[in-house]
């Protein structure tokens, strides 16, 4: 099987996301770039993640053209490949329809500074709604990520997490969903604004993360 390593890495991430409840059925999509070959392994469209095998993962180029595989690539391939074209530092992208990130995205605000781990990715913006699978959504996601952002919420559509490695992108997705969950419950009990992590502290945590040290 060609491109075995990146296909198996994407499959393992899909299985982990499914087990954690970040994705369900065929929703959400995950990809990984091979920077040497300049190709991307991405989940196929409409395939059940419970029964997916490594050889089911589709290989595309950075413009979304199929290079290898028997299945149509994810409908969100334009968003994944747009991120890779814009960000040479990104080699993995995780898009989930996770519950709390989706709820908090509907406010069209930055995610609250609710938990220490998520502030490694501060600030977390929200990209305005655009039709799933569209070039417009791809453009808005890339704009929300900017030149250094790791993750953005997608209005009414979950989150998009990135990383230099798949482990980094998955960790980012997990911590962002956790932050969204805490923020949701904090809003339910009318938590005052000064209960959130101060912005200067969030920036300091982000700085520590960018330096490569543990938070």
Greatest pairwise CA separation for the chain in angstroms: 55
* Token pair for 100: 């709390």
76 is known as an active-site residue: yes
Strands 159-163 and 29-34: unpaired
Query: What does DSSP assign to residue 211?
Result: T
Contact 6, 41 (CB under 8 A): yes
**Cα 74 off chain centre by:** 14
* Token pair for 101: 């990130």
Burial track 137-160 (b if 16+ CB lie within 10 A, e otherwise): bbbbbbebbeeebbbbbbbbbbbb
Catalytic residue among 5, 37, 55, 76: 76
In terms of Cα–Cα distance, which of 65, 147, 154 is closest to 111? Answer: 154
Query: What does DSSP assign to residue 51?
Result: S
Q: Give the C-alpha separation, 97 to 191, whole Å.
A: 26
Q: Mind telling me the catalytic residues? A: 76
């Amino acid at each position: 099987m060609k491109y075995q390593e990146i296909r198996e890495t994407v499959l393992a991430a899909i299985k982990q996301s499914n087990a954690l409840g970040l994705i369900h059925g065929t929703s959400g999509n995950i990809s990984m770039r091979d920077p040497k070959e300049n190709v991307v392994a991405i989940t196929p469209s409409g395939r059940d993640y419970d029964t997916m095998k490594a050889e089911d993962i589709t290989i595309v180029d950075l413009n979304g053209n199929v290079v290898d595989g028997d299945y149509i690539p994810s409908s969100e391939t334009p968003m994944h490949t747009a991120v890779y074209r814009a960000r040479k530092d990104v080699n993995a992208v995780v898009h989930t329809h996770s519950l709390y990130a989706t709820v908090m995205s509907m406010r069209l605000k930055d995610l609250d500074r609710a938990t220490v781990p998520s502030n490694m990715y501060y600030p977390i913006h929200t990209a305005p709604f655009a039709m799933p699978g569209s070039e417009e959504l791809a453009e808005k996601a890339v704009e929300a990520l900017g030149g250094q952002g790791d993750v953005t919420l997608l209005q009414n559509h979950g989150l998009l997490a990135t990383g230099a490695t798949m482990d980094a992108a998955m960790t980012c997705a997990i911590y962002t969903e956790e932050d969204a969950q805490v923020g949701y419950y904090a809003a339910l009990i009318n938590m005052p604004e000064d209960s959130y992590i101060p912005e200067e502290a969030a920036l300091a945590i982000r700085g520590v993360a960018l330096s490569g040290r543990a938070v």
